[in-house]
Amino acid sequence: MAAEYEYPDSLPDGAARGRGATLNPGNRYVGSDPKRGVIRRLHVLGEHLDEVYRARTNGDADACPASSQVRTEVRPDSTRTIINRVDSPDINFHWSINPYRGCEHGCIYCYARPDHERLGFSCGLDFETKIIAKFEAPQLLRRELAHPKWKGETIVLSGVTDPYQPIEREHRITRGCLEVIAECRQCVGIVTKSRLILRDLDLLTELAKHNAVRVGLSVTTLDNRLASKMEPRASSPVERLEALAALRDAGIPTFAMIAPVIPGLNDREIPALLEAVAQAGAQSAGYILLRLPHQIKALFLDWLHRHFPKRAARVESLIRQMRGGGLYDPAFGSRQRGTGPIAAQINALFTTFAGRYRLDGPMKPLDHGAFRRPILDDPAQGKAPGDGQLSLFSDSR
């Protein structure tokens, strides 16, 4: 049964319609003092709200309503490599591809938001409205898979963005990468919140013939209203379950991620979520606790007080009880699972019901032996300018 929550009847003045963040924190890399740390004030929508309030002050309320739409900007990326090395003991893969930087889904809790600050943007509204697109990703991928040092290890789409966010419908960068991956029988794992993945069933089924693909759907709640607040431009919970079922019917190995688990918001849904994904065809499931690195703390608390004012203090208290009194613990191991009695209760709840619905076993390993190195029309494409060798691989993100 879906949880019930209190919902405000309207958005606050100046809120961006259909977006997760209402704030744009100042960039922690700009004007920071590394000896004293970075303490930045939060700016509400920056120039956007300046225009809103200026118009409203001048009596032009009809032309600039209290809640406004902020358009998505897509900007080209100039990266020269596409496969990223992943060095984290918390993660069970070593290579990833991110066709985009930033994510239009706008999930308020997204741990990848701080990466946008490396580009000179904010981790707030900028993260979901200023998207960097790697238009040359398929060509770069072909070149890197052709390199003699590449051994066909599993690559994950994606690490810090959703490969099937809404702009993928138009730009088809993920589709282009999958075409190369299918041609090479390159093992790939995909994690998404979007039913758009069903567009690429032809490529996924081809990979499945060689046991070279698995797909994970992230499902955080069965309550559509809660999902629309937390993940405003992702597919609805029902659509994600339908995508799982369609993938299962097509013979694609699937798993589910209950991530993040937020105490006081969606933790009590764990049994119902596991039952739903099992019925939809997931073969395995995992979970990750809410992670709030850097300025996401302020973004999340602002969101929490706006949408759930009656329970905000309780949710914050539960988070702190799992993080040693703070809002985040960056230590490997505990950052994914938390510590203390509340974290232990969540783990026990998940473990019990994952076992009940047979979602606690390992998935069949992918077959790296099926990999076929692509043949380049121009052998020089497999070399990096300058030294004649391709660098395996950058942290281009």
Phi and psi at residue 332, to the nearest 5°: -55, 145
Joined tokens for residue 95: 């290579």
Between the CA of residue 146 and those of 141, 180, 343, 376, 378, what are the distances in Å? 8, 11, 45, 7, 11
* pLDDT tens-digit series, residues 22-51: 778 777 776 544 343 333 444 444 344 344
* Domains, the chain, ordered by start: 24-368 (3.80.30.30)
Instruction: Return the closest-CA partner of residue 155 out of 92, 86, 95.
Output: 95
CA dihedral 165, 167, 173, 176 (to 10 degrees): 90
Lowest mean pLDDT among 61-65, 75-79, 143-147, 282-286: 61-65
* pLDDT tens-digit series, residues 349-376: 999 999 999 999 999 999 999 999 998 8
Q: How far apart are the C-alpha atoms of 144 and 138, rounded to whole Å?
A: 10
- Compare 330 and 181 and report the one with higher pLDDT: 181
* pLDDT tens-digit series, residues 300-326: 999 999 999 999 999 999 999 999 999
Instruction: Return the closest-CA partner of residue 102 out of 75, 79, 81.
Output: 75
Three-state DSSP class for residue 260? strand
Joined tokens for residue 207: 């990979």
Position 231, amino acid: E
Mean pLDDT of 1-11: 44
Q: Can you give the pLDDT at residue 3?
A: 42
Q: How far apart are the C-alpha atoms of 178 and 203, rounded to whole Å?
A: 7
* pLDDT tens-digit series, residues 153-189: 999 998 889 999 999 999 999 999 999 999 999 999 9
- Number of Cβ within a 10 Å radius of residue 58: 10
Q: Can you give the pLDDT at residue 12?
A: 47
Query: The tokens 């993938």 sit on which residue?
Result: 247
- Number of Cβ within a 10 Å radius of residue 358: 13
Burial degree of 42 (CB within 10 A; 0-12, 13-18, 19+): middle
Joined tokens for residue 117: 């600050």
CA 132 to chain CA centroid, nearest Å: 15
- Computed over its alpha carbons, how large is the radius of gyration of the chain? 22
Task: Compute the half-sphere exposure of residue 314: CA atoms within 13 Å on the CB side of its CA.
Answer: 7
pTM value? 0.84
- pLDDT for residue 67 is more than 80: no
Q: Can you give the pLDDT at residue 170?
A: 96
